Amino acid sequence: MRREELCDPRLCPDSPEDGGKCDHCPLDKLDAAQVSERGLVIRCALELMAMMKLGMHITPDDVGADEAQAMLIIAEERDLLDREKMPGNGR
């Protein structure tokens, strides 16, 4: 899921006339989740994955158990998204 796919205040029937976000905007929920304890673990896991992709050497000692678990979940979700985007899957 992408941030821009969550909400478009111009199309939301509940958004205020000034073009702002509504009271129950999913973007606000996403922002709150990203600064939560779990959100910070996910952000750290994403940063570790980016470093590895750039070729930086990271050992298991560099990764906490919670970050490692988050990395596995992120990889699984990315694979699922890639499979869903494949032509001919009925979507």
Rg (CA), the chain: 17
What's the pLDDT at 91?
53
Half-sphere exposure of 50 (CA within 13 A, CB side): 6
pLDDT of residue 52: 93
Instruction: Rounding to the nearest 10 degrees, give the CA dihedral for residues 32, 35, 41, 47.
Output: 110
Work out the pLDDT band at 11, boundaries 50, 70, 90. confident
Taking only the tens place, the pLDDT of each residue in 39-67 is 999 999 999 999 999 999 999 899 999 99
Encoded tokens for 65: 């158990």
Question: Do 39 and 47 meet the contact criterion of CB atoms below 8 Å apart?
Answer: no
The model's pTM: 0.68
